[in-house]
């Protein structure tokens, strides 16, 4: 019951549509009741007294009641579908917004596949509740009550008249099925686009946060989400319209059968009892009762899935301090910094001071904590101890203003399924054409101008149309465009050949002269220009110094170099 109440609260903003749905249900049940009541008039006023004028009147009233009933069905079904689709649109947007602003640590612990499953599969289950099960519970009991007491009898002879409906029914199935299929296809395509945005955003969540691109990606998501709503609403329009017209046509055929059967009674070819047995068979009570029972059973079985969405939506967003960061002026100090992820200690008592303008190389074996260390700087990772940035504890700084001054590029390149231009504008939405082209030039992205549409070429999902090196250069170009105070390169040139890497690094050293750089690397060429090199092992800083002094010691750094891991 708690989950059902939670869901009903979500649909509350569209309660006026639910009111219309209830009105439609009342109209539908009124029409069904009128049809049932007309049976008495047909027997008493038409068949017994053989009144042809009353026959025409009764048949017209029957047709009017049928139209009222199916008009009520259409109003009841389609309005609740609209309310449900709007609610689903809101839920999807709220989930994505939550994902954009919850702590980065959540994505380390939680498999991306599970997150996407919650958004796609679980929301689809919610859709079944809202679009199928709740409407059935709201509608079918009214119809069932209206038809209560009607007994089921079938007359094979009169039923054969319904065969004339087969060709037209087949046409309507083809017509409405085709229209529905077109919009279902659009819905699936737009759902695929939405899934791409989800996948890209979650895989590149580090870059999203460091570039403060949450709002921009949320805008993309809303566009795709709106498209899904429109396509789904149109598809349901044809589904509901087809059902309503099928029933209207069915009752039209039934009216014709009644007219024909009544005429036969007037002629003495058919007894009233035979006709009544056929007429009562048209108004069965079993379907609404069975539909209601089935809906309640499915509703009960589907409600537990709401807990998975509630867990996600109720997660706390990442905390932010209240002190605005206006630029890196002095130093950043790590004081006894520790990081634990799922009870595993990644960093152990890090003490490190970096002055503004220093270029710091960070090396060590895989798993030594290099990436975790640099992810603390933009406050992606929670930590114990203290990190002091220009005399202020990192936790006390406003996260958005902090990340606006930091640039980060990792081995895992983040690219949207959008144009080169759109991917560049993530770093600086108001960048001029000149600034974009300059950044591309500095990152040696000359390949862009050989693409089919140049800077407006769509790079594909996660940049699949580009090589690994091209993707990395495009990601580095964003750093040139953003021009941050603090630059973090975490294996950012791992896919580049030696010659291209040398060109890119030379441009980085020149362009960011006077800026603070953190360079995580396995190759020696990436850190020879660094002022200091930090050597990490098992979560600790074990050596520190410049390239020459560390090489001369013959210890951990020398062993890394000798084993060619950095060559």
The conformation of residue 504, written as its DSSP 8-state character, comes to H
In this prediction, residues 35-43 reach a mean pLDDT of 63
Whole-number Å distance between alpha carbons of 252 and 162? 10
Please name the residues in contact with 352: beta carbons below 8 A apart, sequence gap of 6 or more: 333, 334, 534, 541, 544
User: Which pLDDT does position 191 carry in this prediction?
Assistant: 62
**Percent over 70 (pLDDT), the chain:** 73
Residue whose pair of structure tokens reads 């009562």 in the numeric block: 280
User: Which pLDDT does position 276 carry in this prediction?
Assistant: 62
Angle at 66 (CA atoms; ends 64, 69), nearest 5 degrees: 110
How many Cβ atoms sit within 10 Å of the Cβ of residue 551? 16
User: Which pLDDT does position 356 carry in this prediction?
Assistant: 94
Residue whose pair of structure tokens reads 């007359």 in the numeric block: 155
Whole-number Å distance between alpha carbons of 416 and 462? 6
In this prediction, residues 30-44 reach a mean pLDDT of 66
Express each pLDDT in 442-488 by its tens digit.
999 999 999 889 899 998 877 788 888 889 999 999 999 999 999 99
Q: Are 4 and 126 in contact (CB under 8 A)?
A: no
User: Which pLDDT does position 298 carry in this prediction?
Assistant: 59
- pLDDT-based confidence at 315, cuts 50/70/90? confident
- Coil, strand, or helix at residue 315? coil
Handedness of CA 99, 402, 438, 435 (dihedral sign): positive
- 228 is written with which tokens? 């899904």
In this prediction, residues 396-407 reach a mean pLDDT of 92
Strand spans (E) along 379-504: 384-389, 392-393, 406-410, 486-490
User: Which pLDDT does position 277 carry in this prediction?
Assistant: 46
Higher pLDDT pick, 276 / 557: 557
Whole-number Å distance between alpha carbons of 543 and 554? 11
User: Which pLDDT does position 46 carry in this prediction?
Assistant: 60
- Coil, strand, or helix at residue 187? helix
Domains and CATH numbers, the chain: 2-162+243-313 (1.20.1560.10), 331-562 (3.40.50.300)
User: Which pLDDT does position 226 carry in this prediction?
Assistant: 82
Whole-number Å distance between alpha carbons of 276 and 430? 77
Q: Which of 46-50, 275-279, 324-328, 507-511 has the lowest mean pLDDT?
A: 275-279
Burial 190-224 (b: 16+ CB within 10 A, else e): bbebbebbbbbbbbbbbbbbbbbbbebbbebbeeb
User: Which pLDDT does position 560 carry in this prediction?
Assistant: 78
Nearest to 250 by CA among 136, 139, 169, 160: 169
How distant, in Å, are the alpha carbons of 39, 88, 130, 408, 531 from that of 226? 48, 11, 18, 32, 51
Whole-number Å distance between alpha carbons of 131 and 326? 50
In this prediction, residues 306-332 reach a mean pLDDT of 86
Q: Is the pLDDT of residue 520 over 80?
A: yes
Please name the residues in contact with 218: beta carbons below 8 A apart, sequence gap of 6 or more: 93, 96, 97, 100
- 298 is written with which tokens? 């499915």
- pLDDT-based confidence at 154, cuts 50/70/90? very low
Nearest to 417 by CA among 461, 382, 456: 461
Nearest to 444 by CA among 527, 521, 512, 507: 507
- pLDDT-based confidence at 554, cuts 50/70/90? confident
User: Which pLDDT does position 388 carry in this prediction?
Assistant: 95
How many Cβ atoms sit within 10 Å of the Cβ of residue 250? 16
Mean of the per-residue pLDDT values of the chain = 79
Q: Is the pLDDT of residue 185 over 60?
A: no
Residue whose pair of structure tokens reads 């047995």 in the numeric block: 277
- Coil, strand, or helix at residue 445? coil
- pLDDT-based confidence at 343, cuts 50/70/90? confident
The CA-to-CA distance between both ends of the chain, in Å, stands at 63
User: Which pLDDT does position 150 carry in this prediction?
Assistant: 44
The conformation of residue 119, written as its DSSP 8-state character, comes to I
Q: Which long-range contacts (CB under 8 A, 24 or more apart) does 560-563 make?
A: 560/363, 560/364, 560/365, 560/535, 561/524
The DSSP result for 375-397, as a single string, is HHTTT-S--EEEEEETTEEGGGB
How distant, in Å, are the alpha carbons of 118, 415, 429, 512 from that of 212? 25, 15, 11, 21
């Amino acid at each position: 019951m708690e989950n059902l109440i939670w869901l009903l609260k979500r649909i509350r903003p569209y309660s006026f549509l639910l009111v219309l749905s209830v009105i439609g249900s009342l109209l539908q049940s009124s029409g069904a009741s009128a049809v049932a009541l007309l049976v008495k008039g047909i027997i008493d006023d038409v068949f017994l007294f053989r009144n042809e004028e009353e026959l025409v009147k009764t048949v017209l009233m029957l047709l009017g009641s049928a139209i009222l009933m199916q008009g009520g069905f259409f109003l009841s079904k389609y309005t609740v579908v609209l309310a449900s689709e709007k609610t689903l649109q809101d839920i999807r947007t709220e989930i994505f917004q939550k994902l954009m602003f919850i702590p980065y640590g959540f994505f380390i612990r939680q498999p991306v596949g599970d997150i996407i499953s919650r958004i796609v599969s679980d929301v689809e289950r919610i859709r079944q509740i809202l679009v199928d099960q709740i409407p059935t519970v709201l509608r079918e009991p009214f119809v069932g009550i209206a038809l209560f007491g009607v007994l089921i009898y079938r007359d094979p002879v009169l039923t054969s008249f319904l065969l004339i409906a087969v060709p037209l029914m087949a046409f309507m199935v083809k017509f409405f099925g085709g229209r529905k299929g077109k919009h279902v296809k659009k819905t699936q395509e737009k759902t695929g686009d939405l899934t791409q945005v989800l996948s890209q955003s979650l895989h590149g969540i580090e870059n999203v946060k460091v570039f403060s691109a949450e709002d921009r990606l949320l805008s993309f998501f809303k566009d795709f989400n709106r498209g899904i709503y429109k396509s789904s609403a149109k598809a349901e329009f044809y589904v509901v319209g087809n059902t309503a017209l099928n029933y209207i046509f069915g009752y039209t055929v039934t009216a014709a059968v009644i007219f024909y059967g009544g005429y036969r009674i007037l002629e003495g070819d058919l007894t009233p009892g035979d006709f009544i047995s056929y007429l009562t068979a048209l108004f069965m009570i079993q379907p609404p009762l069975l539909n209601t029972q089935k809906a309640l059973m499915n509703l009960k079985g589907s409600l537990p899935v709401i807990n998975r969405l509630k867990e996600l939506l109720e997660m706390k967003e990442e905390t932010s301090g209240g002190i605005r960061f206006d630029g890196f002026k002095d130093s950043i100090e790590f004081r006894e910094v520790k990081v634990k992820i799922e009870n595993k200690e990644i960093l152990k008592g890090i003490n490190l001071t970096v002055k503004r303008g220093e270029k710091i190389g960070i090396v060590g074996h895989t798993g030594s904590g290099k990436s975790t260390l640099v992810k603390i700087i933009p406050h992606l990772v929670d930590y114990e101890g203290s990190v002091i940035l220009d005399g202020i504890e990192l936790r006390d700084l406003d996260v958005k203003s902090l990340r606006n001054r930091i640039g980060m590029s990792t081995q895992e390149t983040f690219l949207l399924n959008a144009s080169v231009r759109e991917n560049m504008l993530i770093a600086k939405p108001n960048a001029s054409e000149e600034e974009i082209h300059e950044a591309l030039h500095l990152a040696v992205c000359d390949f862009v101008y050989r693409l089919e549409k140049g800077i407006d070429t769509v790079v594909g999902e996660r940049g699949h149309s580009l090589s690994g090196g091209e993707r990395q250069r495009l990601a580095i170009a964003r750093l040139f465009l953003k021009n941050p105070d603090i630059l973090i390169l975490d294996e950012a040139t791992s896919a580049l050949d030696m010659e291209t890497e040398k060109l890119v690094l030379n441009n980085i050293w020149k362009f960011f002269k006077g800026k603070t750089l953190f360079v995580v690397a396995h190759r020696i060429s990436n850190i020879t220009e660094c002022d200091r090199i930090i050597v990490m092992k098992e979560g600790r800083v074990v050596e520190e110094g410049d390239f020459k002094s560390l090489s001369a010691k013959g210890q951990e750094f020398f062993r890394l170099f000798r084993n060619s891991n950095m060559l």
